[in-house]
Amino acid sequence: MALTRLTRTTLSIATRQLRQLSTRTMAQLVEPTEPTVVTDSVPGPASKSALRKLAKLQDTRAALFVGDYTKSVGNYIVDADGNTLLDMYCQIASIPVGYNNPRILAAASDPHMAVALANRPALGVFPANDWARLLEDSFVKVRPAGLDMVFTTAHGSDANELAFKAAVMHYARKKRGVRGFTEEELVSVMDNKTPGSPEVAILSFSLGFHGRTFGALSATRSKALHKLDIPAFKWPRAPFPQLRYPLDKYEAENAAEEKQCLEELDQILRSNPMPIAAAIIEPIQSEGGDRHASAEFFRGVRRITKEHDVLLIVDEVQTGCGATGTFWAHEQWELPTPPDMVTFSKKMQAAGFFHTREMVPEQPGRNFNTWLGDIPRALIAKAIVAEVAEHGLVKQVNETGAYMLKHLKPLAVRYHRVVTNVRGQGTFLAFDCPTSEIRAELLQLMRNEGVNMGGSGEETVRFRPMLTLTKAHVNVFLTRFQSVLNKLYQKHWP
Amino acid sequence: MALTRLTRTTLSIATRQLRQLSTRTMAQLVEPTEPTVVTDSVPGPASKSALRKLAKLQDTRAALFVGDYTKSVGNYIVDADGNTLLDMYCQIASIPVGYNNPRILAAASDPHMAVALANRPALGVFPANDWARLLEDSFVKVRPAGLDMVFTTAHGSDANELAFKAAVMHYARKKRGVRGFTEEELVSVMDNKTPGSPEVAILSFSLGFHGRTFGALSATRSKALHKLDIPAFKWPRAPFPQLRYPLDKYEAENAAEEKQCLEELDQILRSNPMPIAAAIIEPIQSEGGDRHASAEFFRGVRRITKEHDVLLIVDEVQTGCGATGTFWAHEQWELPTPPDMVTFSKKMQAAGFFHTREMVPEQPGRNFNTWLGDIPRALIAKAIVAEVAEHGLVKQVNETGAYMLKHLKPLAVRYHRVVTNVRGQGTFLAFDCPTSEIRAELLQLMRNEGVNMGGSGEETVRFRPMLTLTKAHVNVFLTRFQSVLNKLYQKHWP
């Protein structure tokens, strides 16, 4: 009875607070029409003070500013100083449908959410009775063609690592055939030695990024600083095409470059000293500097991996969930046979990988962990998928992206000393700066003007807006961008 | 304005639903005084039917039954058939203070939770303005002596992997001194080759378990099936003492065994071909079969690692958060110098590692990822820490554990064919069965009698109740346990 009374009290307090929030929300949560920066630069003094405090407990040296997520709304992030910035970086490409999106807030405030948060099951041992239904209402609604099953994980690195595990177990089963494990395998594995712990590789591509835990990091080739001093498996790297822009001008050179890369891939799969279980590739190399390749190149990758009986994992952690103009970027390749696994995270706000039934290991409990995902995050993903569908956000991304590209291209002519190689799909756009120093200066000036943007690779500026970006937001961006470009020109090329 | 109206509508629906839940909760959520099993066995037909449906989307072969988490309460889990089981397994040792605990439900229903769920920040780049305060109110309140900082992660494997990364980067800095990275390092690392990707090891102990992603799994030595067919780093394994029970009878043998293990550890640290950055150890080997060692042994491990300038990581993923009778199990060792890192997850319902400032890499962004933890899980951890403190649950664990141990020991005499080696700290108790088949039979019979329990290692039964277990719950368990032991005796030794 004490418990019952306490439950009543606490839930009634929560109800009252929610009503208060609802009242406050009505007063505040209207998306502004333009940014406002009230400090001399971003971060301002309140951000800096909060970061100094936080630095006692965590490493804050990569922080740009401190967010006030109660006040952020739609495409605008509000910081600790009260600056309101148009957000085109979106928590490293991971906010899909706006800050404090009403549908997401409603899902987050639903009593089912509270029960899910308060009672976290080990989903592989005691799954919740509504788990299958929730999977149907979230991930299954957007599963890529040919991939019936979904393995839920905690984040993008986790998704890739567990896909790698599925791949190497699949490889071993294929090689082993019907015989069981040998005594030698059972003993050697406890010492991390062959044949129980085999030498088998995941192939990845130059400048690819697949996460930062040990397995994922062995496939990551983005930057030395991501990898230095950390042991890595001796897994091979194939070349990713280095295309020249504009694509229509360099059609022949680019086709030759892609052909050369495919030949090298074929050569590595043919002759790598360590057997290769799977290849992993991003549809657009994101952390590596927004590097693109043609649909034909990716069809070639699928054809060659098939020829060598090597699995293909498409890493859609950053490209997935609509930003490239299709829900999954690899839909644009029109593959004759689907990839074997597709990993996701970031804008899905929940992580995992889609896979064929063949990727399930022969014995239970082998690709396994305690939580195997998180129901609250799946509830959020369900709301995201519904929001994208209801508002036709993938179509909107195409329209907004085309508008943005149309206006960026002339700027690359007019301000060619700063803006080159404008490229992208949907609103997943980018351009290159001449140096990383100029890029840093540009990004800082943009923040000071009220637009939050990010870099990728060494000299690239990447656009990672939400799917809810409209032409009006693009206009706001363009005004600030031109102003910043003029400032850069005045300073460096007066 | 459309957004504002939608926000108002959705939040008002949520408020109404929450009020309804609160009403339903008052009617339902009273902890029962004993289990009820309404099906012939567990899982019953409703669980089986739900699992068949789920099997189309996920691998369900390790599932025991399907939970109804809306109806589960306190120490009792309710399944899809309406069976109500006393839960002494608790989602693989990860429910701390009871299903639908009112304080946790209140934290989960708080408007701050909804905002946190709807606006997931990249905490390393745009931390929330209340993040430092939340860290103070959650993890910092229970941080182990000597470890000032806390790195937040997604789960236990993640915590260990990121602690390993901190360790190998610390090792490299120590070795490198003041010089920067060499050109050879910068180039070789992109091919996963030395010296950029160095050969450096994390030492672990026989039958230790540290997670199942590639780095964590290279330190895991629990079972072949956890590791087979998956590439592993050639990291060394030191022996963990194999103690004999009862401890007071075998005092001399056990002391000799521990001394021998420490000597072997010293030998490995002295002569391992690959340099060793850190050793990782569990206070009680949990997945490996509830294997214990004395405080003196662990003091020896700390002394020897210090002598060899090797970091010590204590893995408290399963032992942490009170179940062993101190908040962290390693507190019981009375170490002269603290470990360098302590990892946690499971009952904290949030994961990470505590560490000294020396574990922060020299350059920013090197031990890094997009989300770096999850604010909602930290809000839950805050409520857990408050609940444990307010109700004196660590003290209660000691009292309940002592009571349980007192009653288990005579059963090990009376039913010695089934129950041997009764052992443990707090309520983190265990015993061994003669075979894995007898254990499987015992666990199934216990579920059929309404008590959910789990195994560890090959033949061990582990108790992983919540911190809220009382003597009354123990009595409920003991009645069912004796009944099951009688059944086993009647069948096997009539």
Model confidence over B429-467: pLDDT tens digits? 999 999 999 999 999 999 999 999 999 999 999 999 999
Residue A250 to chain B, least CA–CA distance (Å): 28
Q: How confident is the model at residue A14 (pLDDT cuts 50, 70, 90)?
A: low
A23 vs B333 pLDDT, higher one: B333
Q: Over chain B, what is the mean pLDDT?
A: 95
Taking an 8 Å cut-off on Cβ atoms, the answer to whether B110 and A14 are in contact is yes
- Which of B8, B119, B228 comes nearest A196 by C-beta? B228
pLDDT at A355 over 60: yes
CATH number of the structural domain A113-390: 3.40.640.10
Which one has a higher pLDDT value, B191 or B8? B191
Is residue B148 over pLDDT 60?
A: yes
pLDDT of residue A5 exceeding 50? no
The percent of residues in chain A predicted with pLDDT above 70, rounded, is 94
- Contacts of residue B426, defined as CB under 8 A and 6 or more positions apart, other chains included, come to B322, B323, B324, B325, B326, B397, B398, B401
Whether residue A79 is predicted with pLDDT greater than 60 in this model: the reply is: yes
Catalytic sites of A, residue numbers: 209, 315, 346, 370
Least confident range of A16-25, A179-188, B260-269, B344-353: A16-25
User: Average of pLDDT values for B49-55?
Assistant: 98
Chain A positions in Cβ-Cβ contact with residue B227 (cut-off 8 Å): 189-190, 192, 196-197
pLDDT at residue B28 in the model: 57
Active site residue B164: no
**Cβ atoms A73, A85 nearer than 8 A:** no
Average pLDDT (A308-337) is: 98
Cα dihedral sign, B349-B352-B356-B357: negative
Q: Minimal Cα–Cα distance from B490 to chain A, Å?
A: 30
Burial class (CB in 10 A: 0-12, 13-18, 19+), A69: buried
**pLDDT for the residue A2:** 36
* CB pair distance less than 8 Å for B108 and A99: no
Q: Which residues of B touch A155 (CB under 8 A)?
A: 154, 158, 369-371
Q: What are the pLDDT digits (tens) for A84-129?
A: 999 999 999 999 999 999 999 999 999 999 999 999 999 999 999 9
Q: Is residue B290 annotated as part of the catalytic site, yes or no? A: no
Report chain A residues whose CB lies below 8 A from the CB of B184: none
pLDDT for res A247: 87
Q: State whether B62 and A125 contact (CB < 8 Å).
A: yes
Residues of chain A neighbouring B173 (CB-CB closer than 8 A): 229
| Amino acid A21: pLDDT | 53
- Residue B34 to chain A, least CA–CA distance (Å): 16
pLDDT at A8 over 70: no
Could you say which of B63, B149, B201 has the minimum Cβ distance to residue A58?
B149
| C-alpha distance from B346 to closest chain A C-alpha (Å) | 8
Write out the H or E segment, with its range, that includes residue B153: strand B149-153
* pLDDT for position A23: 45
Query: How far is the alpha carbon of A395 from chain B, nearest alpha carbon, in Å?
Result: 20
Q: Summarize the confidence of residues A322-338 as an average pLDDT.
A: 97
The fold of A2-104+392-492 is: Aspartate Aminotransferase, domain 1 (3.90.1150)
Phi then psi dihedrals of residue B81, to 5 deg: -90, 0
From the list B23, B36, B370, B479, the catalytic residue is: B370
Chain-chain contact of A8 with B31 (C-beta, under 8 angstroms): no
pLDDT at A3: 37
Mean pLDDT, range B15-23, rounded to an integer: 52
Q: Which chain B residues are closer than 8 Å to A107 by Cβ?
A: 117-118
Tens-digit pLDDT profile for residues A415-466: 999 999 999 999 999 999 999 999 999 999 999 999 999 999 999 999 999 9
Out of B74, B80, B117, whose CB is closest to A376? B117
Q: Which residues of B touch A99 (CB under 8 A)?
A: 118-119
Q: What's the confidence (pLDDT) of residue B58?
A: 98
| Of the partner residues A51, A148, A232, the one whose CB lies closest to the CB of residue B197 | A232
Q: Kind and range of the H or E element at B378? A: helix B375-390
pLDDT tens by residue, B291-311: 999 999 999 999 999 999 999
Q: Model confidence at A27, in pLDDT bands (50, 70, 90)?
A: very low
pLDDT on residue B237:
98
Express as a percent the part of chain B with pLDDT over 90. 93
Domain map (residue ranges) of chain A = 2-104+392-492, 113-390
Q: For position B3, what pLDDT does the model report?
A: 37
- Chain B interface test: which of A78, A99, A129 (most B C-beta within 10 Å): A129
Q: What is the CATH number of domain B33-101+392-492?
A: 3.90.1150.10
Give B20's pLDDT tier (boundaries 50, 70, 90): low
Q: Mapping DSSP to helix (H, G, I), strand (E, B) and coil, where does residue B388 land? A: helix
Say what the pLDDT of residue A178 is: 82
- Fold of the domain built from segment(s) B112-390: Aspartate Aminotransferase; domain 2 (3.40.640)
* CB–CB contact A227 B157 (8 Å): no
CA A229, distance to chain mean position in Å, is 25
Is pLDDT above 60 for A9?
Answer: no
Confidence of residue A12 (pLDDT cuts 50, 70, 90): low
Segment A267-316, tens digit of pLDDT? 999 999 999 999 999 999 999 999 999 999 999 999 999 999 999 999 99
CA distance linking residue A217 with residue A233, whole number of Å:
9
Nearest-by-CA chain A residue for B72: A119
Chain A closest CA to B230's CA: distance in Å? 6
**Higher-pLDDT residue of B352, B22:** B352
A-chain residues near B52 (CB < 8 A): none
pLDDT by residue (tens digit) across B193-250? 999 999 999 999 999 999 999 999 999 999 999 999 999 999 999 999 999 998 889 9
Nearest CA in chain B to A275: B231
Cα separation, A114 vs B29, in Å, equals 14
